[in-house]
Amino acid sequence: MKKILNTIWVMGVLTLAVFCLSACDRDLDVQQSYPFTVETMPVQKDIIRGQTAEIRCTLKRGGEFADTRYTIRYFQSDGKGLLRNDNGTVFKPNDRYPLTKDVFRLYYTSLSSDRQTIDVYVEDSFGRVQQLTFSFNNEREEGKDKPASSRH
């Protein structure tokens, strides 16, 4: 009986050793992809043709990895307008542009008198995407039924 218990004990220890040693890996596991968010200050809701709205943005990283690159692009689903960054670069819809700063500004200029909606996408080099949607109402349309003295 003692011999059987010793055999079971030895087999248990060997099984535990094989289980523990098989989990070892020589490669160092370095996390490269971290979640991120893009935060904005409040943005105006009303805009008229020719007016520019400022969108102040901050990229908040969940961690730092030196080789992570960020790009920005936009798509306009309603209305017509231009989006540019604080360097003056006018964005073309769905073209990617490098995002080189964590704090940046975007400027949207209305080119129509319709309701306008833009979707801004910030993507990292690992495929994580943050989408921001901005909608602007035409100030004249919103104020048609209001008396002139109540609009400020």
99: in domain: yes
Residue span of the structural domain in which 48 resides: 36-142
Query: Which pLDDT score, from 0 to 100, does residue 22 have?
Result: 63
Query: Which pLDDT score, from 0 to 100, does residue 66 have?
Result: 67
Averaged in consecutive runs of 10 residues, what is the pLDDT profile of the chain (152 residues)? 80 74 60 82 94 96 79 95 94 94 96 94 92 89 45 40
53: in domain: yes
State how many domains the chain has. Answer: 1
152: in domain: no
30: in domain: no
Query: Which pLDDT score, from 0 to 100, does residue 67 have?
Result: 78
- Widest Cα–Cα separation across the chain: 101
21: in domain: no
Query: Which pLDDT score, from 0 to 100, does residue 142 have?
Result: 44
Which CATH number characterizes residue 107's domain? 2.60.40.2410
5: in domain: no
Say how far apart CA 118 and CA 83 lie, in whole Å. 9
Query: Which pLDDT score, from 0 to 100, does residue 23 have?
Result: 60
64: in domain: yes
58: in domain: yes
Query: Which pLDDT score, from 0 to 100, does residue 13 have?
Result: 78
Is-contact 111 83, C-beta < 8 A? no
pTM score: 0.70
